[in-house]
Structure 1
């Protein structure tokens, strides 16, 4: 039975609309991470990237804007569903980690039965969004279910759960790309690869907040694997991200004017390395959240190329 109280989670924003929502709704909103909107951005941005990059050479249409809205709604629904599912699987681990101990399932403000029902509701919204897309995009989207289902278990069996997150969180690239173009093209694979390495970088930064607690409870991560050498590894991941993004622009025969926003994207990406101190959890969280700007700069890069090519 749900307890009639609300507990703020450690890394939520200082004050959001969630804190002013009706008390009975707040635990569900926190379960779906509405008090931490960065995850919605990081799920939606790859969708928009795939959509706009696929339109280079053909230009953007009203249908593309319609798809962009659908992907925004789908990202909100499925990020919430993914977090709910993750917390269902990790509820015992979360209760043993300081940063996650106040999550609704770990804290007992939402029951397991209620969490499953909430997961079903959010998944239904995601399904409604998905079936608005062309058949090839629907089938591509459904293929992600195996990745999503397996993700919470990766931290228990591999030191590279961030790589699996990259495969999962960026599945919007192929879904959006084929929705726009109707085909799997070389540029799609280059962009998807770039986004996987981007996620490897930013989620390693994020995982450094929990390195000590993760070691105590036996949770694996690239942050623990790399330790103090993380900045070198993340530099490598971001270098591959930039190279594969440039390859995407090349394969799509993008306008030279796209170099300007691409340079800003690359500079913002590598500025994260300049600022990074793996031992400073507050700074790691701030750098992680800055990837919203990084992603928006890349969307702008492809948008310029789509409009001017």
Structure 2
């Protein structure tokens, strides 16, 4: 793969399905919610599905699966809106984010805030369909969701905060189905955080020059030239946590095969990582949707 041009690194592509099919007034909100870039939704949803399967020790009830799927969609979208509001004065100076609605003036902060409130209200209505314990666990993630966008100003580890928030649905799944959160489930969550630190670092290498210029921080900047080794260590921690967590949750021996496949895939990603080629790194980031699918698949076969 050759290095793409700077223009190609924009995460919004004019002329896509949003521009072709949605009314003009709707387009900025679809982009705020990341409906045109669903990779983040999948990366939130697939680990949650894995936890639902493990908690139910099989295919979860359809009603529960639908609620959690809609919840993942809404909260990922709300988190993206919060992020764009917080970064509205930075995004216009970063090649990847310069075309986002707030950065290029398609909507203003008031409109984005009203949209955020609507997203949060819909998420809150979904919580009414869950148990009181699950609602309590869900509310506990809100500080992380609101703090994350500002972490890149004060710490090199915003990816860790994002990973904890992104994968919170795994803990909620156990709270809803099992009525408690066992140690194995917490270990699976820690594994998902380590995985996210790894793949989001790969993503952050796309922005590293712009972030340094703007005085922002990330694990990519912190790891520097050692990024390949550090990402590999994050992936190794994720695989180890998922292996041990699955054993603690009494997954069958077939689960180990699934984890081995995940390990191979993440090893391939690490091998392909090229810190000097942003387009390659962005492509590798996208392949983590497959990692999430493999995790959900491993959880399913682990219940056999």
User: After the TM superposition, which of the residue ranges 198-207 and 68-77 deviates more from structure 2?
Assistant: 68-77
Q: Are the structure 2 counterparts of residues 73 and 298 from structure 1 closer, same or farther at C-alpha, using a change threshold of 3 Å?
A: same
**Which residue does 1:34 correspond to in 2?**
35
Maintained 8 Å contact 2:188/2:242? yes
User: What is the DSSP-based 3-state SS (H/G/I as helix, E as strand, rest coil) of the residue aligned with 2:102?
Assistant: helix
- For 1:13 and 1:297, the matched residues in 2 are separated by 29
- For 1:97 and 1:112, the matched residues in 2 are separated by 19
What is the Cα deviation at residue 96 of structure 1?
1.7
- For 1:105 and 1:12, the matched residues in 2 are separated by 13
The answer on 1:50 being equivalent to 2:55 is: no
What is the Cα deviation at residue 16 of structure 1?
4.3
Pairing of 1:1-309 with structure 2 (within 5 A)? 10-12=10-12, 16-20=16-20, 21-56=22-57, 59-61=58-60, 63=61, 65-306=62-303, 308=304
- Deviation track 1:44-89 (CA, whole Å, cap 9, x = no partner) reads 1221122112233xx434x2x3222212111111111111111111
What is the Cα deviation at residue 116 of structure 1?
0.5
What is the Cα deviation at residue 262 of structure 1?
2.0
Maintained 8 Å contact 2:228/2:270? yes
- For 2:18 and 2:70, the matched residues in 1 are separated by 18
Maintained 8 Å contact 1:13/1:36? no
- For 2:68 and 2:141, the matched residues in 1 are separated by 15
**Which residue does 2:5 correspond to in 1?**
none
Q: How many pairs are equivalent? A: 296
Q: Which runs of 5+ in 2 are unaligned?
A: 1-7
Q: Which runs of 5+ in 1 are unaligned?
A: 1-7
What is the Cα deviation at residue 179 of structure 1?
1.0
What is the Cα deviation at residue 261 of structure 1?
2.0
What is the Cα deviation at residue 15 of structure 1?
6.2
TM-score, normalised via structure 1 length: 0.92
What is the Cα deviation at residue 19 of structure 1?
2.4
TM-score, normalised via structure 2 length: 0.93
Maintained 8 Å contact 1:136/1:182? yes
User: What is the DSSP-based 3-state SS (H/G/I as helix, E as strand, rest coil) of the residue aligned with 1:182?
Assistant: coil
